[in-house]
C-alpha cells in the first residue's frame, strides 16, 4: 500500500496519453464502471479540449497510475442531483489504470493530493458520485475523507453522492 512517502504528481491530459487511456479504459475493472473505451476516450479528449473537464494522468513516484478529472456538476442538466450545487463546487472522477495497482490505496492517495490542489484553488467542497454498487470505489473515497450526503436513483441505477469539505479535509491533514 502506498504511504505518505510516495509522491503523487499530475500531468494534464495530452493527445499522447490517449492510447494509454484507451488501454486502461479497456481493462475490466475500469470498463465495468466507465463504459465503452472508444466513447470514454472521445469524451475525455473533447472535455479537456473544451475546458468542460480538467483531466490529468496521475503518477505515483513517476509511474502513470490512473486518470483523474474535475468538472462543474452544476453546469450539467443531465445530472439532476447537481442542479442545486453552487458553481464553485467541483466534481471529481477517478480510475486506477493498471489492474495490479487496484486495492492498494492508490485512489485514496491520489484523491487526497488532488483535493489539496482543488481546495488551494478555492473550492469550499468537492463532490464525487460513484455507482452505489462500486464498493471498492466507495471504500476508497471514504478513506480519502468523503462522506455520503445523498443518493440519486434513475434508470441507470443508484448513484451515491459523497462530499469532502475544506474544513474536514484541513482537520485530517
Q: Which pLDDT does position 39 carry in this prediction? A: 97
* CA–CA separation, 89 and 71 (whole Å): 9
| 2 within a domain of the structure (yes/no) | no
Q: Which pLDDT does position 170 carry in this prediction? A: 84
* CA–CA separation, 111 and 5 (whole Å): 16
CB 71 within 8 A of CB 90: yes
Domains of the chain: total: 1
Q: Which pLDDT does position 1 carry in this prediction? A: 44
pTM, 2 dp = 0.92
Q: What average pLDDT values come out for the chain (173 residues) when binned by 10 residues? A: 72 97 97 95 96 96 96 85 88 96 93 96 95 93 94 86 91 79
CB 58 within 8 A of CB 110: yes
Cβ-based burial of 122 (10 A; exposed 0-12, middle 13-18, buried ≥19): exposed
Please give the residue range of the domain that contains residue 86: 8-171
CATH number at residue 102: 3.40.630.30
Q: Which pLDDT does position 79 carry in this prediction? A: 78
- Cell reading at 45: 479528449
Q: Which pLDDT does position 5 carry in this prediction? A: 72
Q: Which pLDDT does position 72 carry in this prediction? A: 93
| 90 within a domain of the structure (yes/no) | yes
* CA–CA separation, 15 and 6 (whole Å): 27
Q: Which pLDDT does position 136 carry in this prediction? A: 92
Amino acid at each position: 500500500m502506498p504511504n505518505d512517502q510516495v509522491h503523487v504528481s499530475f500531468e494534464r491530459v495530452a493527445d499522447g496519453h490517449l492510447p494509454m487511456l484507451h488501454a486502461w479504459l479497456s481493462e475490466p475493472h475500469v470498463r465495468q464502471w466507465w463504459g465503452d473505451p472508444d466513447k470514454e476516450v472521445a469524451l475525455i479528449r473533447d472535455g479537456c479540449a473544451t475546458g468542460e473537464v480538467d483531466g490529468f494522468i496521475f503518477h505515483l513516484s513517476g509511474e502513470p497510475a490512473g486518470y483523474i478529472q474535475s468538472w462543474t456538476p452544476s453546469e450539467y442538466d443531465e445530472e439532476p442531483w447537481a442542479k442545486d450545487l453552487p458553481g464553485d463546487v467541483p466534481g471529481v472522477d477517478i480510475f486506477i489504470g493498471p489492474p495490479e495497482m487496484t486495492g492498494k490505496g492508490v485512489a485514496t492517495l491520489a484523491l487526497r493530493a488532488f483535493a489539496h490542489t482543488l481546495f488551494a484553488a478555492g473550492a469550499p467542497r468537492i463532490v464525487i458520485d460513484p455507482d452505489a454498487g462500486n464498493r471498492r470505489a466507495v471504500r476508497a473515497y471514504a478513506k480519502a475523507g468523503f462522506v455520503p450526503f445523498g443518493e440519486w436513483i434513475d434508470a441507470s441505477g443508484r448513484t451515491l453522492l459523497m462530499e469532502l469539505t475544506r474544513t474536514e479535509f484541513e482537520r485530517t491533514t
